[in-house]
């Protein structure tokens, strides 16, 4: 654990990254009912984006949480800001302007919880946290959400932000995403990767960036770049943790998935909450696993998880095999 975990700070966790609104469509029927009409089982609007998802989940788990993101001066931005405040996330570091709209993502969710998404040009806007680093609040840990997506698909932004955060001796946790507009590779940021304390790719992302199909081999590639700890999220198959001394493989919690949107972000929030509370890696992974599973029980990234007590109930239920 980083020295910053015992350091007095304004926040336990500060999340830096994207904020958006997800338009989630479940049970889409591709057979048209008219010349210009289709049907679906349901449709809903939900706040999302990696920084939003992680910060809201962390706040529900009891962490003093803040967020640095960009929102447009529009209805979607108002919706995100309201949801953050209602959940208890401090929004003092949120940036807003009229020049760039809040991104809206259309998500098509299948019966098994898997999904496909449609992005648009609003997702290209790269807000610049590196331009206000000195004003960025202190935190025991920072969650980067996510590497390889705006604003962290620019090597200079990645380098400036992570270098500054590391000077604070805080824990740096980095989620990852597959590229959508601008591509960045591990080699492009090889000099900065050792400053990240733990990276959290899912199975597809691990394959893409490492070039390895096997999660064990993929984890070794990330470790070879000097990242001390690697967590590969395996969805219904649980997760894999590796560092130079330890290997942990956990199965998933038996739960009926409705929508996997945000499950990885909830996992990261749970992992961070337990690690900052002094838990072992195995305990933090188990707790994160449970948070991710609970997230999938409702549509959207923030509807399923409600409290730490809810997570502990699921963990204890599995322990008792009830």
Sign of CA dihedral 88, 91, 93, 99: positive
Domains assigned to the chain: 3-320 (3.40.1190.20)
Q: For position 115, what pLDDT does the model report?
A: 74
* Spans of the chain, pLDDT less than 50: 1-7, 322
Q: How many whole angstroms separate alpha carbon 84 and alpha carbon 56?
A: 6
State residue 6's pLDDT score. Answer: 40
**Residues 284-293 pLDDT 10s:** 999 999 999 9
Structure pTM? 0.90
Q: What is the pLDDT, as a whole number, of residue 186?
A: 97
C-beta of residue 199 within 8 angstroms of C-beta of residue 222: yes
Residue 134 tokens, joined:
């000195």
- pLDDT score at 318: 63
pLDDT tens profile 214-254: 999 999 999 999 999 999 999 889 999 999 999 999 998 98
Q: Is the Cα torsion angle 149, 215, 58, 262 positive or negative in sign?
A: positive
pLDDT of residue 251: 93
CB 52 within 8 A of CB 81: no
């Amino acid at each position: 654990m980083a020295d910053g975990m015992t350091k007095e700070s304004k926040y336990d966790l500060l999340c830096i990254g994207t904020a958006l609104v997800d338009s989630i469509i479940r049970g889409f029927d591709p057979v048209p009912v008219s010349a210009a009409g289709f049907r679906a089982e349901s449709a809903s609007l939900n706040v999302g984006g990696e920084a939003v998802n992680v910060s809201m989940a962390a706040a529900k788990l009891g962490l003093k949480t803040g967020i640095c993101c960009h929102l447009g001066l529009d209805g979607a931005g108002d919706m995100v800001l309201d949801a953050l405040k209602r959940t208890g996330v401090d929004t003092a570091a949120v940036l807003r302007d009229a020049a760039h709209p809040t991104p809206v993502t259309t998500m098509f969710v299948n019966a098994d919880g898997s999904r496909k998404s449609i992005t648009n040009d609003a997702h290209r806007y790269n807000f610049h946290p590196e331009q206000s680093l000195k004003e960025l609040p202190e935190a025991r840990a920072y969650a980067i959400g996510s590497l390889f997506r705006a604003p962290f698909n620019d090597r200079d932004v990645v380098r400036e932000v992570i270098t500054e955060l590391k000077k604070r001796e805080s824990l740096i946790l980095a989620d990852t995403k597959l590229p959508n507009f601008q591509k960045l590779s591990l080699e492009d940021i090889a000099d900065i990767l050792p400053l990240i304390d733990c990276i959290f790719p899912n199975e597809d992302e691990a394959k893409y960036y490492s070039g390895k199909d096997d999660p064990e081999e993929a984890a070794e590639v990330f470790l070879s770049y000097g990242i001390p700890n690697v967590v590969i999220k395996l969805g219904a198959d649980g997760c894999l943790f590796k560092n130079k001394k330890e290997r942990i493989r956990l199965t998933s919690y038996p739960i009926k998935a409705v929508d996997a949107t945000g499950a990885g972000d909830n996992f990261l929030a749970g992992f961070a909450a337990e690690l900052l509370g002094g838990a072992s890696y195995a305990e933090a992974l188990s707790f994160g696993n449970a948070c991710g599973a609970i997230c999938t029980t409702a549509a959207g990234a923030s509807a399923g998880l409600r409290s730490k007590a809810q997570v502990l109930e699921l963990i204890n239920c599995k322990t008792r095999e009830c």
